[in-house]
């Protein structure tokens, strides 16, 4: 089912006791609107990205179709961050409004039963009406994986970006220090980026080598379009020795995307976690660190 076309309608799965709607699910009536938040994990391979597109397979469309089966009415979901084609998510957060009442377990299991294997709901909960998956977020965290070995890997394809060149993490770490803090990241955003301001605050940018894999971890108050992939592209060039350590500082000063080098491929990028104020009571996320114990 992982490679199935989401454009077709999935057969609703409620036959087993695990997915059946109980009387308690409907006991409170179905008139008042409720806002439901979900954390979603997905393999972005084979999707056109998060956002719905008329003639392409998207994560949003698949999720909306699956939730609609559980809700028994059309659903529109809003996400914390729209990921590009090929980009993965460990902790994407979404919300939607519905007049029906379901147990949290029913939202999770019922939705997962109608999703392709490459998308899964991790948790679901009712939230207060002023919660918004995107606009309530206070921070976002990404990871970028680079596989360094002489030949390509069959197992890591679409899970990490492969390079046959050895990367030196010492100059990469030194170059990354200049990027931490509040800066104008014009040189690191896509030319088509529609954000009103190029100023963002990077809270941390860590680079770790784990055997043949190099992991970039970055957290910020927000990111511009292609910002993480452009950061990765610059740091990889420095790690290869194709650019000097001070290139990151120079790019910040130049504020010119045309001078910013190559955008790294999407396959190694993971949306790891979204931060929200404690008042919303969302589950504390660990950005699925257990999945990265190589």
Q: Which residues are catalytic?
A: 84
d(Cα 166, Cα 159) in Å, to the nearest integer?
Answer: 19
Give the burial string for 7-40 (b: 16+ CB within 10 Å, else e).
eeebeebbeeeebeeeeebeeeebeeebbbbbbb
23 Cβ contact list (under 8 Å, min separation 6): none
Structure tokens, 2? 């992982």
Q: Residue length, the chain?
A: 294
Using CA atoms, how far residue 43 sits from 10, 61, 88, 248, in Å, is 19, 15, 5, 30
DSSP bridge partners of 83? none
- DSSP class of residue 187 equals G
């Amino acid at each position: 089912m992982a490679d199935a076309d989401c454009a077709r309608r999935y057969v609703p799965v409620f036959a087993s006791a695990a997915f059946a709607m109980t009387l308690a699910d409907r006991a409170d009536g179905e008139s008042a609107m409720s806002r439901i938040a979900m954390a979603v994990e997905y393999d972005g391979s084979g999707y056109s990205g998060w956002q719905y597109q008329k003639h392409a397979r998207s994560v949003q469309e698949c999720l909306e179709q699956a939730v609609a089966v559980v809700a028994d009415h059309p659903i529109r979901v809003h996400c914390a961050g729209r990921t590009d084609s090929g980009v993965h998510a460990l902790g994407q957060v979404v919300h939607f409004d519905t007049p029906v009442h379901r147990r949290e377990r029913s939202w999770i299991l019922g939705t997962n039963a109608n999703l392709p294997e490459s998308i899964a709901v991790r948790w679901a909960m009712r939230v207060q009406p002023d919660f918004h998956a995107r606009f309530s977020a206070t921070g976002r965290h990404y990871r970028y994986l680079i596989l360094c070995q002489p030949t390509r890997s069959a197992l890591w394809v679409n899970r990490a970006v492969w390079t046959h060149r050895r990367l030196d993490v010492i100059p990469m770490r030194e170059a990354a220090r200049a990027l931490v803090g509040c800066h104008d990241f014009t040189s690191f955003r896509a030319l088509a980026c529609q954000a009103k301001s190029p100023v963002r605050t990077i809270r941390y940018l860590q680079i770790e080598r784990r055997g043949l894999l190099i992991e970039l971890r970055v957290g910020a108050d927000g990111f511009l379009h292609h910002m993480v992939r452009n950061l990765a592209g610059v740091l990889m060039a420095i790690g290869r020795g194709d650019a000097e350590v001070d290139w990151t500082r120079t790019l910040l000063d130049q504020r010119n995307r045309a001078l910013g080098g190559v955008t790294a491929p999407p396959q190694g990028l993971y949306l790891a976690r979204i931060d929200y104020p404690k008042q919303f009571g969302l589950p504390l996320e660990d950005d699925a660190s257990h999945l990265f114990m190589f």
